[in-house]
Structure 1
Amino acid sequence: MRIIPAILSAAATLAIVYALNTRWGSIPAMGAFFSPQHGFWKSAEDVDLDLNGDVSLPHLDDVVNVWYDERRVPHISAKNERDAFYVQGYLHAKDRLWQMELQAFASAGRLSEILGKSMLDYDRFKRREGMIYAAENALKASEADPTCKRIMDAYTEGVNDYIATLKSVDLPLEYKLLGYKPEAWNNLKTCLLLKYMSLDLAGSAYDIENTNALKLFGWDDFHKMYPSFTDSLDPIIPVGTQFPVPTAKAVAPPDSVILKDALLMAFKEEHPDPDNGSNNWAVSGSKTKSGVPILCNDPHLGLNLPALWYEVQISAGDLNVYGVSIPGAPGVIIGFNKNMGWAVTNGMEDVKDYYRMQFKEGTNTYLYNGSYREADLRVEAIKVKGQPTYYDTIAYTVFGPVTYDKNFPVKNAQQGPIAMRWKAHDASKELLTFYRLNHAKDYDDYLEALKVYSCPAQNFIYAGRDGDIGIWHNGQYPLRWKDQGQFIMPGTDSTYAWQGYIPREELPHIKNPGRGFVSSANQHPTDATYPYNFIADYDLYRGMRINRELRKMDQITPQDMMALQNDNTNLFAQTAIPLFKKNIDSSHFNMQQKTYWDQMSQWDCISDADSHAATIFYLMWDYFENNIWGDDLDHKNVALRMPQSKTTLLWLLADSSMKYVDDRRTETVETLPMMVQRAFDSTLNRVIPLDSARRLAWGRFRGTDIRHMTRALPAFSRMHLNTGGGQHIVNATKQTHGPSWRMVVQMSNPVEAYGIYPGGQSGNPGSKYYDNAVNDWVDGRYYSLRFIDPGAKTQPDMKFKTNFIPANQPQ
């Protein structure tokens, strides 16, 4: 009978083998993960790994020294720039190869190749958005520029020389789990990554939703629901600034800015996170304890592991720059050198418009300016893992690609083809802007760098050792008449096409203002006297809070600025809670109701992680807002969007009887007090069980999740982090979104700088340096940024030194 245990053992073994090599839902086959020769334990990194030594590389011109500090930040010291960017590419690939390639695949619409059929619609949409087309145009412009081509070629060669060293056993763990191998890097992939940032920061347009809203609610209410300005405006350029007489003007057509026969769209378009923004500011030496400017930045983006940023110092010749880079692209994106620092926030403007085209039935020709034109057809071959290649034919018009037609999505067939005009499609060379900023010595160099920048529009702040500070709302903005680009427009003639761009010298900007600081937090760049039109959903309360604090501060230190970046004061709640208190009768509350009402109504409006009131307010506003708009936006198969919270709040403060308070789905005519009471009742039903479960504290209720990029491996994620902050708050930390890099730079001699991002330098989940900074980031701590002198013979602050040596040079 000894055969029975043997059979059972064999069966169990077969079951385990099957389980480990089968994909379960979103979890990949785990056999590769547990393989002792190829899996996680092979990828695990010794915490005491010694990085001292020599590495021979085939395409170096001279020796490059790389010093590593205690956080594994590389400090590259080269004799020439080509070698410096070559080694940066090598190090990016060494530490972040899988992340680089996955993001390039995502941008290009190639995820189906590695993840299968479930990603096909995503890939089709990326192709129909024209992401590869945009990157190809950027590549042409960049490679036509000798500087861009030189640094991109060097960087790409470094990436590929690292890839060439890899054996299957050495591949990053995610390749093994997903069952594929890296392909060669190229300059197009670098452009794809930069265009992915354009998509993330300038990829939103609400033309479809706005067209529907206008049809449903009319002009007056549309402008109240989605206004360009708010009464309590605190713009980037101070109110009262005198703007020059405009030298350009968009000529509006005599009739309408939208389709008169526009049909309601029967689908909902996906948009990037509307909170993709940032804070930045610079204070002049007149307000600082040191007497020199201090520069601050914290870009707010989706939080992932591996982290978005890679910290680095690059020095070669007259180049010596420190900051964060994007794995996949050369240079530093946000940072400083010994002479100046720069910081960026998203400009927020809509630079994407939609046009309804009229194609001749059964042909590829479309009507434009009275005659029919032949569309350029682009056949996109989308490889699908385990499936036949999918082919999608996309027509390109004078405006751009036909994103929606009878083939995508099917529900849109009755509306006719919709073409997209997007600024990011145009040839551009943003990389040159950052290269020049890396080299900049003064304000004039900073301006030269900005001249070649196009998209996504950004607020670039400057702070120099020379004492100057300044900000430019910078990019290429379409010259539009009022409301142009808010709605789907006719594509049958050039009347509705863009008529050029706002002249660069007339973009909003200011240098050395009398108030002693410049700042931006994604609010409107100007007051209503600015002569040109912008379209965006701007923030309000973060900018107000930052400006209020900076106005009253003096003798400012870097530590003061760190505290402001981590400020959890909620100005939105300070404004909304009095509205609630005015419109609710708490005298009849029982003890339980009174307990929770008092917590919120007497709250100091600071959204710290341990605050119960922050959770109560969040829930009550959410219920209240949905009660106000839920009925009006409830139109089946119609794409609509909720007005911004600030809009709802300011409208109700001005008009408590505004008509949208009433719920048209009921026979009762609801009033504002009734809606506030309903919201509180619903909140109470949520709060009581949360409190019983000890999950009412804001950091427990909302918290923050920094997920691995696959979304299928929670063990490689950092979940349920106990964070404060939130929407409308300077510390804009949300559940999966927040400050992706905090930086404070004092332009002293030597430069004194601090920074942190929620992750680590390594992309390897088996490394200590994969997420070593996360806890300190949660706690609001910073690291000293070690901006070393590359010419020094010894580096006492450094832990390791790797010498990269040309392969043909004796070691």
Structure 2
Amino acid sequence: MLKWIKFFISLTLTLLVVFLLNIRIGQLPPFGKFLNPFSGIWQNALIPDIPKQKEKTFDGLKDQVNIVFNNRSVPHIFAQNEHDLYFAAGYVMAMHRLWQMEFTAHAGLGRISELVGEQALEFDRYLRRIGMHYGAEKIWELMQQDEQMKSILEAYTSGVNAWISQLKPRHFPFEYKLLDYKPEPWTELKTCALVMNISRTLSLHTQAVRLTHMKAFWGKDAVLALFPGYHKGSEPIVSRGTQWDFDLEPPVPPAETFIPQFVMENLFEDIPEGIGSNNWAVAPWRSLTGNALFATDPHQPLNLPSMWYEMQLNAPGINVYGVTFPGSPFILMGFNKHLSWGNTASTNLVVDAYEIELDENKLNYFYENQWHPLTLREEVIRIRGGKTFSDTVKYTHHGPILYLDNERPLNQNIPSVHAMRWTALEPSPTLKGLKIMNTSSDVSDFRKGLSHISTPPQNYVFASTEGDIAMQNNGLWPLRWHDQGTFINDGRRSIYDWQDYIPFEYLPHEINPERGFVSSANQVHTDTLYPFFYGRDFSVSTRGKIINNTLGKHEEATIADMKKLQLNADNYEANKWLQLILDSVNAYLKEFPDVNLEEGFMDALSRLNDWNKVNEAGSIATTIFMQWRDKVRIELWKPLIGPLKDYPHLRPDLEISFLVLFHQSPVEYYVSLSGNLPETGKILTNSLNEVIRNLTLEYGPAGERWQWWKFNGPYLTHFLNIQALGTKRMPVSGSSLSPNAIRNSYGPSWRMVAEMSQPVKAWGIYPGGQTGNPASPGYNEFTEDWAKGNYYPLKLYDTFEDAGSENEAILLLKTK
């Protein structure tokens, strides 16, 4: 009897274990399925980055496609026609990055709840309410009206699905197994969602609500003076003094100032410090070889899998090399036989907030003394487990109302009963513009392509083998009266509507300027001679000044110089202000010798006095200065920010802060608001004292643990924030305000330089690797070289035979 009892207990436990191994527990996958040696994660280690099979046949091809993979798994695709080229692009991209493609598409369409359940519902609702799904639909509707674009997107979709259709569960990418779901068919809508993703990252930002609150406390004149956008010492993208001859006038502003009724938080999304970019081109007369030189390095989140995918596309009428976002069939940054190009974030104002007045039933809104019906859009969100959630988004003619006053926003950064006007919700032929850019043969062609890219707005720099260099802004720029959109708009009156867009030819641009170079680094676009208002929220021009000062000294520039400038870690602020800062502290200590100083205070002053003012990875002085700088900025503005502490607010940028600290204009507004000049020496001394105290308490006396890279060095994070699938912090020099704009998980996501000879010579690198498979050495194989500042040669081959001479493997795609 006892034997049978033991048997049944053992059987019960066995069945229980089997049961537990085959069900999901919370967000965890079924462990039995996940760890199965025949179909679980172990199989991912056996998946090659480059296919071992030499031939594949498909119904969807018109002719044979030859794909050559180099030793870094970069595909060089050679097709006989456009359809097959983009089919193959979709196929190889899915082979390396399927999960990343699908996950980012789900995020762009507000579909994350389908993957992880109700915990993502509010996030999905937010994405639907800002119009992500709606905008992608409008883009696809527009693309279907262009037969060539429709054909390309359908071919790309067919290629992605050709890979998915032959994929066996044991070969599913790791993340599918972790989250316990399977790939679904790719659609053209998902490719269009990529445009919305990029637009959200780069253009869905406004400080209107914060500045409106601050205007109520400080007054309009003070806010405009302390947040000027362009101020004395700014280094605009377009050369100072450029004259503009336009036959267009800005709209006339309203006679009276609108005072909104809301008391809410900051609107929409901010661009984190560090999301920026550099690009530049050098004229032939400044180059040692007599060829134009080009460089680009966008600063974006440092992710694994990498946000970029590298490839060459070659077919009749197109031969292009570079990087793109997984999910896009077109090269976003790169070069062809005639041109090289890259872009930086523009950050001009393309989203406005409107206070809306609704009727009692919340079905009509008040506009120009009449009630107008809201347009209702039903958004159905599927939730993992079989549930669905229906959400009604209410649209005014401005755009969607994100939340009603009886709804709780996703977070406190979103005000209720405000509508959003955003250029990304206008149907955009952006994908068509990218296609034209890929095939451009000169500056005129390239600008034609840019004229189609209505979102997001960016600063494109390009150079040609003919010796031309150029910078061109793109996108829909609302034609505004001065400062329209700086504060909350009155949604009841038509004078606050966008009246029109600035014509493409009137957007800031520069072709072959006298100074012999063009550049951009996210700073203000123009000086005050430009007649149209486009916003105030731009990066301080420290990176731009370092770049322009360096380029302006070159008369025999080389590719080595371009690489060196991309890796430049100079601290412009320290070069400009540190001596004055140290003099002020020494003067204060001489006047007040009894100040109680931390033990390491004088050592810190000594280190700063001896510092080379470069943000080197191993520098202790850099850590002290950067933390001191931030602390000073906080302490300086504390008397003015105090009344605003319970409201959303901003601090003026570092350049304005230093000007005010040293009693330079616009210090008069500081005095008017606080009643006193800032006590410069006291603020500096007390701030440094506190920085030394905090560093010592946390890390001990000044030493190895104070090295700059341990506070700022880059690290790569997985899209799902799984620590084991990311990297450790790396000892890399730079800062967010140096050309090598390193800041924790942000930094140069793609470095490229090119000499515009015939043929073009190019080099580039990105952190990460070609494959998205964490079990593969190729997942992260470029990162060490990237951190060391190395570059790989980028080869644009004319023929399959040329590429075949330097290949790791060849895959032939054949028609059945």
The TM-score, its normalising length taken from structure 1, stands at 0.93
Corresponding residue of 1:515: 515
Write the mapping of 1:632-711 to structure 2, written as runs, cut at 5 A: 632-633=640-641, 635=644, 637-655=646-664, 658=667, 671-688=679-696, 689-690=698-699, 692=701, 694-711=704-721
Partner residue, 1:728: 737
Amino acid paired to 1:467: G
Residue 395 (structure 1) shift: 0.5
Q: Is the contact between residue 33 and residue 173 of structure 1 (CA under 8 Å) also seen in structure 2? A: no
Distance 2:666 2:349 in 1: 32
Change (3 A) 1:383 1:794: closer
Question: Partner letter of residue 461 of structure 1?
Answer: V
- Report the equivalent of 1:744: 753
Residue identity opposite 1:593 in structure 2: F
1:326-363 deviations in whole A, cap 9, x for unaligned? 11111111111111111111111110001111111114
| 1:141–1:427 Cα contact (<8 Å) kept | yes
Shift of 1:391: 2.4
Note if contact 2:66-2:800 (Cα within 8 Å) is conserved in structure 1. no
CA distance in 1, matches of 2:507, 2:73: 40
**Corresponding residue number in structure 1 for 2:291:** 292
Residue 60 of structure 1 aligns with an amino acid whose one-letter code is L
Q: Is the aligned partner of 1:432 residue 2:412?
A: no
CA apart distance, 1:560? 1.1
Asked whether the 8 Å contact 2:301–2:749 carries over to 1, the reply is yes
- 2:355 is aligned to 356
1:369 matched to which residue of 2? 368
CA pair 14-681 structure 1, distance change in 2 beyond 3 A = farther
* Structure 2 CA distance for aligned equivalents of residues 19 and 645 of structure 1: 56
Asked whether the equivalents of residues 197 and 456 of structure 1 are also in contact (C-alpha less than 8 Å), the reply is yes
Instruction: Give the superposition deviation at 1:369.
Output: 2.1
- In the TM superposition, 1:296-335 aligns within 5 A as 296-335=295-334
Contact between 1:721 and 1:778, CA under 8 Å: does it hold in 2?
yes
Query: In the alignment, residue 463 of structure 1 is paired with which amino acid?
Result: A
> Cα 1:536–1:797, aligned 2, differ >3 Å: closer, same or farther?
farther
Which is further off, 72-81 or 324-333?
Answer: 324-333
What letter matches 1:316 in structure 2? A
Partner of 1:405: 404
Identify unmatched segments of 5+ residues in structure 1.
none
Secondary structure of the corresponding residue to residue 710 of structure 1: coil
Alignment partners' CA distance in 1, 2:636 and 2:144: 53
Residue correspondence of structure 1 range 403-802 to structure 2 within 5 A: 403-409=402-408, 417-539=417-539, 540-585=541-586, 592-630=600-638, 632-633=640-641, 635=644, 637-655=646-664, 658=667, 671-688=679-696, 689-690=698-699, 692=701, 694-711=704-721, 713-792=722-801, 795-802=804-811
**Which whole-Å deviations, capped at 9, do the CAs of 1:61-108 have from their partners, x for residues lacking one?**
000000011100000000001100011011111111110111111111
Q: Do the aligned partners of residues 267 and 385 (structure 1) sit closer, same or farther apart at CA in structure 2, a change above 3 Å counting?
A: farther
Q: Is the 8 A contact 2:265 2:413 kept in 1?
A: no
SS, match of residue 201 in structure 2? helix
Number of residue pairs the alignment of both structures matches: 802
Deviation at 1:645, TM superposition (A): 2.3
> Could you list the per-position Cα deviations for residues 388-430 of structure 1 after superposition, in whole angstroms to 9, with x for gaps in the alignment?
4232211011011001312443698997611000000001111
Matching residue's letter, 1:493:
R
Is the alpha carbon distance of 1:29 and 1:737 closer, same or farther for their aligned partners in structure 2, counting shifts above 3 Å?
farther
Distance 2:735 2:25 in 1: 36
CA distance in 2: counterparts of 1:30 and 1:630, whole angstroms: 53
C-alpha offsets along residues 525-583 of structure 1, whole Å, 9 cap, x if unaligned?
11111111110422210000000000001221111101100000010232342343133
Deviates more, 1:369-378 or 1:575-584: 575-584
Counterpart AA for 1:569: D
| Paired residue type of 1:187 | E
Q: CA offsets per residue over residues 116-139 of structure 1, 9 Å max, x none? A: 222222111111111111111111
- CA distance 1:5–1:224, shift in 2 (3 Å): farther
Q: Deviations over 1:287-338 (max 9, x none)?
A: 1122111111001111111111100000001210000011111111111111
- Deviations along 1:709-747, whole A, 9 cap, x unmatched? 001x21111121222211211000111111110000111
Q: Is the 8 A contact 1:404 1:412 kept in 2?
A: no
Alignment check: 8 A CA contact 1:69 1:800 kept: yes
Q: Is the 8 Å Cα contact of residues 301 and 746 (structure 2) preserved in structure 1?
A: yes
SS of 2:277's equivalent in the other structure is strand
For the structure 1 residues 427 and 656, does the alpha-carbon distance in structure 2 shift closer, same or farther, using more than 3 Å as the test?
A: closer
1:189-233 per-position Cα deviation (integer Å, ceiling 9, x unaligned): 111111110110111111111111111211122113311212102
Counterpart Cα distance in 1 of 2:52 and 2:660: 60
Is the 2:67–2:75 contact (alpha carbons within 8 Å) kept by the matching residues of 1? yes
C-alpha separation in 2, matches of 1:412 and 1:659: 33
Higher mean alpha-carbon deviation, 264-273 vs 564-573, is at 264-273
Q: 1:422 to 1:801 in 2, by over 3 A?
A: same
The DSSP-based 3-state class of the residue aligned with 1:609 is coil
Q: What amino acid is aligned across from residue 305 of structure 2 in structure 1?
A: P
Match for 2:801: what amino acid?
A
243-252 or 678-687, which deviates more:
243-252
Mapped partners of 1:453, 1:170: distance in 2: 37
1:536–1:136 distance in 2 versus 1, CA, 3 Å: farther
Alpha-carbon contact 1:460-1:472 (below 8 Å) kept: yes
Residue identity in the other structure for 1:429:
P
CA–CA distance in 2 between the matches of 1:414 and 1:122? 13
Change (3 A) 1:770 1:483: same
Task: Provide the C-alpha distance between the structure 1 equivalents of 2:191 and 2:49, rounded to a whole number of angstroms.
Answer: 33
Amino acid at match of 1:35: N
Aligned CA distance change for structure 1 residues 20 and 733 (closer, same or farther; 3 Å): farther
Matching residue of 1:53: 54
Q: Partners of 1:49 and 1:521 in 2: how far apart? A: 37
User: Is the Cα–Cα contact under 8 Å of residues 268 and 638 in structure 1 kept in the other structure?
Assistant: no
Matching of residues 272-291 of structure 1 within 5 Å: 272-291=271-290
Contact 1:564-1:730 within 8 A present in 2 as well: yes
Within-5 A mapping of 1:191-202: 191-202=192-203
Q: 1:536 to 1:330 in 2, by over 3 A?
A: farther
Q: CA deviation at 1:590?
A: 7.1
Q: 1:20 to 1:549 in 2, by over 3 A?
A: farther
Distance of aligned partners of 1:794 and 1:376 in 2 relative to their CA distance in 1, 3 Å threshold? closer
1:151 aligns with 2:159: no
User: 2:122 aligns to what SS in structure 1?
Assistant: helix
Summarize the Cα distance change of 1:446–1:330 in structure 2 as closer, same or farther, 3 Å threshold.
same
Contact 1:358 1:416 in 2 (8 A): no
User: 2:730, 2:386 → 1: CA distance?
Assistant: 39
SS at match of 2:445: helix
Contact 2:490–2:496 under 8 Å retained in 1: yes
1:30–1:177 contact (8 Å) kept in structure 2: no
| Structure 1 letter corresponding to 2:329 | P
Question: What residue number does 2:162 align with?
Answer: 161
Decide whether aligned partners of structure 1 residues 682 and 18 sit closer, same or farther in structure 2, where only a CA change above 3 A counts: farther
Q: Which residue of 2 aligns with 1:124?
A: 125
| Alpha-carbon distance, 1:50 to partner | 5.7
Q: Contact 2:380 / 2:390 at 8 angstroms: preserved in 1?
A: yes
